[in-house]
Amino acid sequence: MDKLTPNDKSKLQNILQYYTEYRKTHYDDIIGIEIENKKRLEKQEEIDRQLQKIKNIKKTEQYVLLHDEKCDVNKQIMIYEDNIDEIRESYEDIYDDDTEEVTIIRDKLDKLYHIIETIEHKQLDVLRENGIDTELLENNNIRIQI
């Protein structure tokens, strides 16, 4: 076998360097893109599984009872808000909303809003207890409709 001359060695090094750079820019990028696509697909599949689990959990008795309770409280809120509107109409000439009646109703509304907030926390607890990863959904800007 012939010995390699320094010129041949230089040519081989250039070929090796060219191949290495080519591989880095083409092959590695393609593999990297495939890996990223696979990760993205797995993440989306997990999100889809979580959303399906939420649909199933919302059909459970515990969740339905909380939802019904929330609907009842919302009906009470609407009644009180209508009462405030009626009071305002009856005092057309008075520009101050802080009549005693309105203040009493607002206090009741504040309590009802607090009850709604408590129910929503309970609903989220039910979802979490049943394996829903609320943090995953929040991090992906998916709002859970409660």
Average pLDDT score over residue span 102-131: 90
Average pLDDT score over residue span 23-45: 83
With b meaning 16 or more CB within 10 Å and e meaning fewer, what string describes 38-68? eeeeeeeeeeeebeeebeebbeeeebeebee
Give yes or no for residue 122 having a pLDDT over 90: yes
What integer pLDDT is reported at residue 75 of this predicted model? 94
SS3 21: helix
Query: Does residue 80 contact residue 112 with C-beta atoms inside 8 Å?
Result: yes
Two tokens, residue 2? 């012939």
Residue extents of the structural domains in the chain: 1-59, 61-129
As separate numbers, helices (DSSP H) first and strands (DSSP E) second, the chain gives: 5, 0
- What mean pLDDT, rounded, does the chain reach? 85
Give yes or no for residue 42 having a pLDDT over 90: yes
Burial (0-12, 13-18, 19+ Cβ within 10 Å), 108: middle
> pTM of this prediction?
0.61
